[in-house]
Amino acid sequence: MDSMPTATGPRAGEAGGERGREVPLRPTNPMVTPLLTDLYQFTMAYAYWKAGKHQDRAVFDLYFRKNPFGGEYTVFGGLDECIRFIATFKFEVDDISFLRSVMPTCEDGFFEYLKAIDCKDVEVYAIPEGSVVFPKIPMMRIEGPVAVVQLLETPFINLVNYASLVTTNAARHRLVSGKSKTLLEFGLRRAQGPDGGMSASRYCYMGGFDATSNVAAGRMFGIPLRGTHSHAFVSSYMGPDEITDKALRRRDGSSTCQDFVSLVQSWLSKIQWASSFVGTFDETNQSELAAFTSYALAFPNSFLALVDTYDVMKSGVPNFCAVALALSDLGYKAIGIRLDSGDLAYLSTEARKFFCAIEEEFGVLGFGKMSITASNDLNEETIDALNKQGHEIDAFGIGTYLVTCYAQAALGCVFKLVEINKQPRIKLSEDVTKVSIPCKKRCYRLYGRDGYPLVDIMTGDNEPPPKVGERILCRHPFNESKRAYVVPQHVEELLKCYWPGNSDKTSAELPSLKKSRDRCLQHLAQMRPDHMRRLNPTPYKVSVSAKLYDYIHFLWLNEAPVGELQ
């Protein structure tokens, strides 16, 4: 496709990099094509075309109605992939042939129309990816020919829904863990298929995780990789005789220890007979010691051992310490241990005491600060419980509950028509939460004197923007009694143009994954704590201007049928 649209966008491995020259954008997943949509999008497109309405200029809002996980905030993800999708939106010959086969009664002219369309007449406005967002505020506003934009509905919702849900889940785990803890995403094996695994790694990193075990995601998105060994590695060893190459060169290269295995055994003996450890443990598991020694020989600069295959305190931790002390003799510094079962609070505390005793007994500076990583089906609740119990864990490896969003299946994004041919449209419902907010809108975040966001407000597209220091009336969209005056100290316009189509508007730069992650962490830090707490969080206020409020209710009365009692 010689005329393929381009934009300043991401490339493989650019999580921590900066944007370079303009490059063609393609969806990360090759399955994301114009056919990745619901059949009724095509049936509606045909009906629009047959009625001559397909070129009507429409405005749609993509938003959600309720924050997930019982919280009062959401983190927006998926914008990058939406832009990649529309940048290459084009029906191939095979696509058209397939559509002809499933829509045999449609006229040939319709398929010729489909063959010719792209997204050059579409404009996309969005809140920057990684931002904290709230219900009813459009995360994206899409403008363009109604038939084309209708075809974008399902793929856009698909690309945003899970991305925002898992980013929010990751952000919640970051908040409950605290800034100082390292968070590792270990969910690939439990994710819903390869795409679920790749998306989870990407958006968990955006939501504040530090690294992933997913090698493919590390390559594609530039996410730091972390991982050590499994129980199978430990149990595969029968004893030290299986280690054939026992030599290990000192870290500075000055000499070589010809029998690292014996050095480890001598350190284990010293620990056993040291006054600090008499009666603490007897004989450790020698096959485990062999496995640890073998792994240290392979990775002397990054030795981290899984210590719960047999017994954590009577075997795993002493064996680890013997290997770590032997490495220290040769100028290396071990990383630490991983706990994957048992009472994590108790075991981490006992392991820390053991490390501190080693440091004091043998004078190895910093040994007491060995890293302790915990895994084993962790989630928000278990980390919160660990915090309340008290623990010595430095890093959490989290998988199943994180990547599957076990606590909530979906975010529930919707894609609603709010204007067509400059005429506002509204969707009514007996459930007021499902009533849409009509017309093309501008959205602002208003900040108070203490620097915290106070309220998000939607206004009509032609209304003057809120001004710093000027009082503005903020109204609940549907509840007449909920209203408040706000004097903002800072005003932030939320929607930026990320795909200008053929218009002369300037396109905002798509940030790197690392920058979206930084934005997420910055937004989490600047929100008022009571909005972010796990239990009984304070709802964040979402409002409309007085003028938009009046127009919503005028349109509501105009469109709602009048009943008749008999």
Query: CB-hemisphere CA count at 13 Å for 338?
Result: 21
More confident residue, 8 or 328: 328
pLDDT value of residue 6: 43
Helix H or strand E segment including 442: strand 441-447
Average pLDDT score over residue span 23-47: 92
Q: Is the pLDDT of residue 9 over 80?
A: no
pLDDT value of residue 16: 44
Average pLDDT score over residue span 139-145: 98
Average pLDDT score over residue span 557-566: 84
For the chain, the farthest-separated pair of C-alpha atoms sits apart, in whole angstroms, at 102
Of 471, 465, 514, residue with least CA distance to 491: 465
Which band of pLDDT confidence, cut at 50, 70 and 90, is reported for residue 19? very low
Average pLDDT score over residue span 535-551: 96
Query: CB-hemisphere CA count at 13 Å for 65?
Result: 12
pLDDT value of residue 557: 87
CA Rg value for the chain: 29
Q: Is the pLDDT of residue 17 over 50?
A: no
Q: Is the pLDDT of residue 60 over 80?
A: yes
Compute the mean pLDDT over every residue in the chain, rounded to the nearest whole number: 94
Structure tokens at 530: 């009571």
Task: For residue 516, count other CB atoms closer than 10 A to its CB.
Answer: 27
DSSP 466: P
Of 82, 291, 74, residue with least CA distance to 172: 74
Residues 460 and 548 sit within 8 Å (Cβ to Cβ): yes
Element counts in the chain: helices (H) and strands (E) = 17, 24
pTM: 0.94
Average pLDDT score over residue span 19-46: 84
Hey, CA dihedral for 55, 58, 64, 65, is it positive or negative?
negative
Which band of pLDDT confidence, cut at 50, 70 and 90, is reported for residue 380? very high
Dist. CA 327–CA 228, nearest whole Å? 17
Average pLDDT score over residue span 257-267: 98
Q: Which residues are within 8 A (CB) of 500 and not within 5 positions of it... i.e. 6 or more apart?
A: 123, 506, 507
Dist. CA 345–CA 374, nearest whole Å? 9
Dist. CA 360–CA 263, nearest whole Å? 20
3-class DSSP assignment, residue 118: coil
- Percentage of residues in the chain having pLDDT higher than 70: 96
Helix H or strand E segment including 403: helix 400-403
pLDDT value of residue 25: 76
pLDDT tens-place string over residues 509-538? 999 999 999 999 999 999 999 999 999 999
pLDDT value of residue 281: 87
pLDDT value of residue 1: 35
pLDDT tens-place string over residues 382-434? 999 999 999 999 999 999 999 999 999 999 999 999 999 999 999 988 888 89
More confident residue, 2 or 348: 348
pLDDT value of residue 13: 46
pLDDT value of residue 3: 37
Dist. CA 186–CA 517, nearest whole Å? 18
Lowest-confidence segment of 146-150, 180-184, 275-279, 290-294 by average pLDDT: 275-279
pLDDT value of residue 5: 39
